[in-house]
Amino acid sequence: MGWSGPYRRAVTNPFLRGIAPYLGLSTVIFTFLIVLGIAIRFKHASASPLPVTPSSAATFEAIELSTLDLFVHNGLVSLRAIGGFLTIGVGTVYVLAINGLTIGAVLGEATMAFGPVVTVTLIAPHGVFEIPAVLLATGLGFRWTHVVWAVASGKRRRYSVSRHVLHTIGWLAIVAALLAIAAFVEAELTVPLARMFP
């Protein structure tokens, strides 16, 4: 009973309803690619570790990651994901593929090196902000791919471009906020934590 009111408002809110199917598509694809990346990493467990994988505390001693550097990097990735609509969604899928497979491979490698508890401890603090930001950005890329296709095929009356622009600005602000928090947590917490593990 208590959830019926907020749920009804959420599903009828144009701002939330407009992104929901595309966010769902991004989440399904991203989850599949992460699982695939983990499976590939475990299958090739004898291969040398990935360069981006933390294999020891010494590795992190040489890493200098600032909040600004992380924010700019992830911000550019998000912009590429959104701009994927210019390639009919191909660019958006590419960003999802690279990030999903990389995260899966890193999860697999880190789990073999440190165990699942340490892996979650290292990735979860910033991942809970960064991953939703990536999913939102790719969801926006898919949404704009659909809008452009609809307008080009003469269905413009069903799609208010100006409304989509305003909604996109709102979601971009949310993506930027999530990336800023993720960058701060990764630089100030994740790397120092990683240096504690042998």
Residue range(s) defining the domain that contains residue 96: 18-46+65-194
User: How far is residue 35's CA from residue 58's CA, in Å, rounded to a whole number?
Assistant: 28
Tally the domains of the chain.
Answer: 1
Q: Tell me: the pLDDT tens digits for 109-155? A: 888 888 888 888 889 999 999 999 999 999 999 999 998 888 888 76
- Comparing CA positions, the residue from 129, 121, 128 lying closest to residue 190 is 121
Flag whether 170 is in a domain: yes
Flag whether 173 is in a domain: yes
Flag whether 5 is in a domain: no
Q: Tell me: the pLDDT tens digits for 64-119? A: 678 999 999 999 999 999 999 999 999 999 999 999 999 999 898 888 888 888 88
Flag whether 109 is in a domain: yes
Flag whether 52 is in a domain: no
Does pTM top 0.85 for this prediction?
Answer: no
Flag whether 177 is in a domain: yes
